[in-house]
Structure 1
Amino acid sequence: MIETNLVRRTAADDIADMLRCWMRGGIMGPGDRLPAERELAVILGVGRITLRAALAELQAEGYLDVRRGARGGNFVTALDRPFRRWLNTMRRDLPGLHDLVDFRIGVERQLATLATRRATSDDLRQLTAAVVEMSEAGDAEGHRRAEHEFHQALAAAAGSDRMAHAAADARGEMFISMRPRSDRKGRERSLRIHVDLLRAIQNGDERAAAD
């Protein structure tokens, strides 16, 4: 007889994982307010009791801060505590971190290659608009939002839902939202990378896009 010690997961655990991925992957960032419970439950396709259990889990872990009053709600924290926990976990599992980095690089290279082959004129306009917004961002939060819009446009240009989901998952697992963008040099470096990728896609240069 085979004995297992599997932990029974709940729907609330799955919803918490999804929201963690959004915050760690940069879809939502520090200071962002989650939609109201009723609206968010509809978006996620779950009951409000399940959603509340997931939100309570994220609050306890330091992802969300609850504010009361007319302008209250669930707000994304600075993510310092979750990031420190993630960093400590990765330091104890360097092979796992290297595997995760390899996976993310592989997926994003393939997305870029597909986008180079398939991007329409509308896709290129969306990518260009995101880069312009990135260049005009005056702070880390504005840069994060523009970068997220770029990657959404890149996924649309690639035309592969499965690949787009894999890339989003990889970004979430990598805690991409905590990349150093608070300093100007970090944002300028990120902007150069995205400008080079945009040019490669515009020129149909698959090799440059995948670099």
Structure 2
Amino acid sequence: MFHKEGQKIILTTFFLVCIVVILAHFYLDIPWLRLAIQITCLIILALILQFFRNPRRKVVKSFDEILAPVDGKVVVIEEVDEKEYFKDKRVQVSIFMSPVNVHVTRYPASGLVTYSKYHPGKYLVAWHPKSSEENERTTVVIKTPKFGEILYRQVAGALAKRIVNYAEVGQGVHQGDDCGFIKFGSRVDLFLPLDSAVTVKLNQKVVGAKTCIAALIKKDE
């Protein structure tokens, strides 16, 4: 299954590959060169298909957990000042996506979208400390039943040139559902309440809509 954001690119690449392969077959008399061109075209098509894949995932929804919004590796876990929306201290968990990861963004929690904003910006490498504030990005806030408001931010990287965000203010959303796409290497930042119990570690690989990023701290009654 492939993501809808890649349909035009996939079809265009497929037709171009077919044309080049056919032309090479009929008009190139050098066997090794003909084969090299055809194999290269097929590899390019395979890479495009791999990048826009959208695997179906059965989501076990929970109001007590924040799930990973994307596939990738945890590169930041720290207490920071969130300057755009909350303007106070939050726990930031950042997930870096390489070009080989699934790039579908999924809602980390169920709730109501209270803020959604696009910011044009730079294209620093996604792991750069300032990329969360200076790169092209979208910021979305979800009001959840138990965590209160949480924020996630799609951040473009050096290769990512387009961020797609489906979240709209006033929209009710469900944990694990498709909420956007980032084309080519990038990251997603989560900003959570300070009393959230982070359940992942630095450099841990996570799976979107599957891996628990944080849970509620259970208080003694």
Q: Is the radius of gyration larger for structure 1 or structure 2?
A: 2
Q: Tell me which protein shows more helix as a share of its residues.
A: 1
What is the TM-score of this pair, normalised by structure 1?
A: 0.24
Higher RCO (CA < 8 A, seq sep 6+): 1
